[in-house]
Amino acid sequence: MSRSTLSVVVCALALAVTTTSSLGAQAVEPIRYTLRFPAPHTHYVEVEASIPTAGRPDIEVYMATWTPGSYLIREYERNVEAVTASTGTTALAVGKSRKNRWKITTGGARTITLRYKVYSREMTVRNNWVETGFAMLNGAPTFVTLPEGGKRPHEVTVELPAAWKGVQTPLMPVAGAVNSFRADDFDTLVDSPIIIGNPVVREFTVDGKKHALVLEGDPSLFDADRAAADVKKIVEAGRNVMGPLPYPHYYFLNMVTESGGGLEHKNSFLGMSGRFTTRTHRSYLGWLGLVAHEYFHNWNVKRLRPVELGPFDYENENYVKTLWVAEGFTDYYGDVLPRRAGLATREEFLDGLSNQIESVQTTPGRLVTPVNMSSYDTWIKQYRPDENTANTSINYYPKGAVIAFLLDAKIRKSSNDARTLDTGMQWAMQRYSGDKGYTPTQFYDVMSEAAGTDLKGWFAKAAESTDELDYSEALDYFGLRFRPTDPSGARAFIGSGTRNDSGRLVVTSVRRGTPAIEAGLNVDDEILAIDDVRVRADGLAARLDQYKPGDKIAVLVARRDKLTKIGVTLGAEPGRAWRLEVSPTATTEQKARLTSWMGQ
Ligand SMILES: [Zn+2]
């Protein structure tokens, strides 16, 4: 998942709960699906599934309730309707046995046919969208399967509407068949988005492997050639960090649909962007950062993964304490790769890292929740944020990225520049990728090996406690400093978040340690006036400029429509104290380390 999705607000256990059978080593008959779009303008995909029963008198099928990489129970089954079952021309009894399960009486048939429709109109990287021009399908919200252990192949055949020319998916094509694809198991099916329509496609090769940039939606204004050339540079920069490309092919699936976000898969990612993305440097750099983040996931989390993230329990929460590695370290490399690829300047790179540090250091919740526990609680907090989240929890994306930065400096320093964080990530990949997964202790150990010194105590402090992070070693090593701020010119500061709600100035958040919380300003208070003079919905900052830090003001608010005056003693607006810059006194040695780290 990407930080851009989360900034809008802001992957286990045994397989299925009631396992009906466990598959042996012999060849297993696939489930075969056919997808049809008889009326795409109504936003439905019709699914026909041919399901082997092994002769059982009844079977259960289920739909996943969440998508790996996006940690919230989504209850996709809510979009399923018109479920029928048959064998040949004989209708079979089918009924629900749980919110996301259906039970079918087979009458002893070896194979049954299940048909259902899925309403597909959510333009997010985890769900489905079907319209006149195209379809974007994800595995979890589309395909039902049998609750069983082991690997059963799943095959998908797409019947195209006449106006749609092709199918783009990282799934392997079935030899000799048209628009038919095969997944070796259900995990692979869930992990493989399917884009159907008339996308713009640019293919390129790195190390003999096919890569495809796929643009669907409205890509007419999106500079596909330039984007493909730059994405190739990100692939090469990633290969230089992590070693050989571990996939058969890779698909960069980008929906040009005025939406945002990205979701990682083993051999692809699905992302969303606006049509003007390649038109301005700022938006383009943001998109390249998203691409670098999601692409780096093909190593970090899709292959090198926390031990808890597999095999997945698709019907329940899967709890994991190291999303600060899976997401945070990926976010760090999401800035590193564009820099090493020459797509971002040193200043832009430092600016990105400064944003991460600033985000951590200005979030009160960093002093309440260790980052490993904000990872564990992501199902109830990070993916379900409210007005108090920043006070109680720390986002594991920026904190993990900052830990990666500090660790990179630490490994370089401790190994006398012989090794870097890249080394640690390569060693972790070699040791724990595939079906193994790593425990927190194993991850700490491999990084300690790279550093040549025991880092378990350091990790315990950085990731398992609420102690403040110590930047001094990293800054000193690279010859960096935080840009000095001038407190004398500080503006008056109240410290509440607000929004313009159709002309009403409404409080949206009240952070700890601000004048607003001390004075008793509440979320949802409508600010009407300061010192008896009306404040317009867009006029709070300008009004506060009429005061200086330390001034006492009377704020008139409407709270559930009752007018109340609240006395507030204004504070001083905190300066941007966490902006990195190269120290003016940096030595030749420090400058050489900077160049080794972030290029010339
Ligand atoms: Zn991510």
The Å distance, Cα 232 to ligand 1 centre, comes to 20
What was the pLDDT predicted at 27? 82
- 3-class DSSP state for residue 547? coil
Please report the sign of the dihedral spanned by the C-alpha atoms of residue 460, residue 463, residue 464, residue 469.
positive
Distance CA 224, CA 221 (A): 9
Distance 330 CA to ligand 1 centre (A): 6
Average pLDDT rounded to a whole number, residues 56-78: 98
Whole-number Å distance, alpha carbon 247 to ligand 1 midpoint, is 18
pLDDT at residue 149 tops 90: no
Distance CA 315, CA 12 (A): 11
pLDDT at 24: 58
C-alpha span between 421 and 410 (Å, rounded) = 9
The percent of residues above 90 in pLDDT, for the chain, comes to 93
- pLDDT tens for 488-522 read 889 999 999 999 999 999 999 999 999 999 999 99
Q: Token digits for 80? A: 């399923």
Q: Does residue 14 surpass a pLDDT of 70?
A: no
How far is the C-alpha of 308 from the C-alpha of 327, rounded, in Å? Answer: 15
- H/E stretch holding 94 reads strand 94-98
Q: What is the mean pLDDT of residues 588-599?
A: 96
Ion ligand 1, residues whose Cβ is below 5 A away = 1, 327
Q: How far is the CA of 554 from the centre of ligand 1 (A)?
A: 44
Q: Which residues contact 563 (CB under 8 A, 6 or more apart)?
A: 528, 556, 557
pLDDT digits over 425-438, tens only? 999 999 999 889 99
Q: Can you tell me the distance from the alpha carbon of 338 to that of 234, in angstroms, rounded to the nearest whole number?
A: 6
Average pLDDT in the chain: 95
The owner of tokens 């958040």 is 509
At 3 the pLDDT is 65
Expressed in angstroms and rounded, the spacing between residue 408 Cα and the centre of ligand 1 is 19
Q: Is the dihedral of CA 336, 340, 344, 345 positive or negative?
A: positive
402 CA to centre of ligand 1 in angstroms: 15
Assess whether pLDDT exceeds 90 at residue 213.
yes
Query: How close is the Cα of 528 to the center of ligand 1, in Å?
Result: 41
If you average pLDDT over residues 109-137, what whole number do you get?
Answer: 98
Does the pLDDT at position 16 exceed 50? no
> 372 alpha carbon to ligand 1 midpoint, in Å?
16
Exposure class string for 112-130: b at 16+ Cβ within 10 A, else e: bbbbbbbbbebbbbbbbbb
Quote the ligand 1 centre to 272 CA distance (angstroms): 14
CA of 69 to the centre of ligand 1 (A): 7
In angstroms, what is the span from residue 294 Cα to ligand 1's centroid? Answer: 6
User: Ligand 1 centre and the CA of 327: distance in Å?
Assistant: 5
- What DSSP assignment string belongs to 195-222? EEE--EEEEEEETTEEEEEEEEESGGGS
Q: Which helix (H) or strand (E) holds 465?
A: none
Averaged pLDDT, 32-37: 98
Distance, CA of 183 to CA of 187 (rounded, Å):
8
pLDDT of residue 117: 98
Q: What distance in angstroms lies between residue 335's CA and the mean position of ligand 1's atoms? A: 13
CA distances from 101 to 64, 146, 202, 443, 599 (A): 9, 10, 40, 37, 53
CA of 565 to the centre of ligand 1 (A): 45
Banded pLDDT at 20 (limits 50, 70, 90): very low
Q: How far does the centroid of ligand 1 lie from the alpha carbon of residue 354, in Å?
A: 19
Span from the CA of 299 to the centroid of ligand 1 (angstroms): 11
At 600 the pLDDT is 84
**Distance between CA 350 and CA 533 in Å, rounded?**
43
**Alpha helices, DSSP H, located in 524-570:** 540-544
Q: How far is the CA of 163 from the centre of ligand 1 (A)?
A: 34
Alpha-carbon span 156 to 280, nearest angstrom? 39
**Å from CA of 297 to ligand 1 middle:** 7
Cα 121 to averaged position of ligand 1 atoms, centre (Å): 23
Q: Output phi, psi for 507, to 5 deg.
A: -75, 130
Please give the distance, rounded to the nearest whole angstrom, from the Cα atom of residue 592 to the centre of ligand 1.
31
C-alpha 575 – ligand 1 centre gap (Å)? 30
For residue 127, the CA-to-ligand 1 centroid distance in Å is: 17
- Span from the CA of 551 to the centroid of ligand 1 (angstroms): 44
Average pLDDT over residues 470-491: 94
Tell me the CA–centroid distance for residue 3 and ligand 1, in Å: 7
147: preceding bond cis by omega (within 30 degrees): no
Return the structure tokens found at 599: 């290029």
The answer to whether 496 touches 593, Cβ cutoff 8 Å, is no
Poorest-pLDDT segment among 19-28, 264-273, 369-378, 465-474: 19-28
The whole-number pLDDT of residue 5 equals 53
Could you report how far apart the first and last alpha carbons of the chain are, in Å?
A: 30
Q: Which amino acid is at 510?
A: V
What does pTM read for this prediction?
A: 0.95
Tell me what pLDDT residue 365 has: 98
Under the banding of pLDDT at 50, 70 and 90, the label for residue 23 is low
Q: 508, 497 in Cβ contact below 8 A? A: yes
Q: Mind listing the pLDDT tens digit for each residue in 360-419? A: 999 999 999 999 999 999 999 999 999 999 999 999 999 999 999 999 999 999 999 999
How many angstroms separate the alpha carbon of residue 125 from the centre of ligand 1? Answer: 12
Cα-to-centroid distance, 31 and ligand 1 (Å): 30
Q: Please tell me the distance between residue 403's alpha carbon and the centre of ligand 1 in angstroms.
A: 16
Ligand 1 centroid to Cα of residue 559, in Å, is 39
For 240-298, the DSSP string reads HHH-S--SSEEEEEEEESS---EEE-SSEEEEEE-TTGGGSHHHHHHHHHHHHHHHHTT
Residues in the chain: 600
How many Å lie between the centroid of ligand 1 and the Cα of residue 264? 7
Q: Kindly tell me if the per-residue pLDDT of 17 is higher than 50.
A: no
| Separation of alpha carbons 189 and 138, rounded Å | 9
| pLDDT score of 546 | 97
Whole-angstrom distance, CA of residue 426 vs CA of residue 242: 5
What pLDDT is recorded for position 596?
96
Mean of the pLDDT values across residues 462-476?
Answer: 98
The alpha carbon of 323 and the centre of ligand 1 are apart by a number of angstroms equal to 9
Going from the Cα of 522 to the center of ligand 1, the distance in angstroms, rounded, reads 33
For a pLDDT cut of 70, what percent of the chain falls above it? 96
* Residue 372 CB burial class (10 angstroms; 0-12, 13-18, ≥19): buried
Q: What is the pLDDT of residue 415?
A: 97
What are the angstrom distances between the C-alpha of 254 and each of 8, 269, 288, 386? 19, 8, 12, 29
